Chain A
Amino acid sequence: GESVGLHLPTLSVQEGDNSIINCAYSNSASDYFIWYKQESGKGPQFIIDIRSNMDKRQGQRVTVLLNKTVKHLSLQIAATQPGDSAVYFCAENIPNTGFQKLVFGTGTRLLVSP
């Protein structure tokens, strides 16, 4: 399945490097953020999330940083592997009477060379 657009920003790294993918979100009221990974032919896969009362959260090989002052989110992948090649989306949850409304960024393609 197609998961990328014609003008997706692309980050190319070498295997073993650390990758940093950035995202600017739109709404200062957003209270929850998620990073998804989408490989070709698949739906988005949850990677890591962070609530707005935090500025950093770590997972396995991944770290998400949140800067609410400038509405910026980043995903850091340590020791990037070829299997990390995919399109990465950030999503923000805009509070709406308690129900979900995720707004997705346009995505960044990560290409990892062996």
Chain B
Amino acid sequence: KAGVTQTPRYLIKTRGQQVTLSCSPISGHRSVSWYQQTPGQGLQFLFEYFSETQRNKGNFPGRFSGRQFSNSRSEMNVSTLELGDSALYLCASSLTPSSNTQYFGPGTRLTVL
């Protein structure tokens, strides 16, 4: 069974631009969570989607948003990029929201110049 896939793997943007990252969960998994990983803050929870609905949200500004499609694939969007948004963005999938075990993708490395 294929693991979680994320595209693109690397991205370079400039301040003020917006970016969309994509995540395909493990086949059969319906819950997708997003995390931001930085050297200073570690792994921080962004949001979780299930059945095309955001079920849980971390403490990030409204510039960070996401959505989930009927096939469970998810996208996250960051608008008006800031230098501090440079990070590794990780997607994790699980069978359902109550299935605690999450399986991570390789991440998208975003660099904001």
Residues of A within 8 A of B (CB): 1-6, 32, 34, 36, 41-46, 49, 89, 91, 93, 96, 98-107
Contacts and interface: CB of A to CB of B under 8 A. Distances in A.
B21 interface: no
23 contacts: A1-B106, A2-B39, A5-B40, A6-B40, A34-B100, A43-B4, A43-B90, A43-B106, A43-B107, A44-B43, A46-B103, A89-B43, A98-B98, A99-B98, A100-B56, A100-B100, A101-B56, A101-B58, A102-B33, A102-B102, A105-B42, A106-B42, A107-B42
A4 to B, nearest CB: 7
Contacts of A96: 56
Nearest to A105: B42
Interface of B is mostly: strand
B75 interface: no
A64 to B, nearest CB: 13
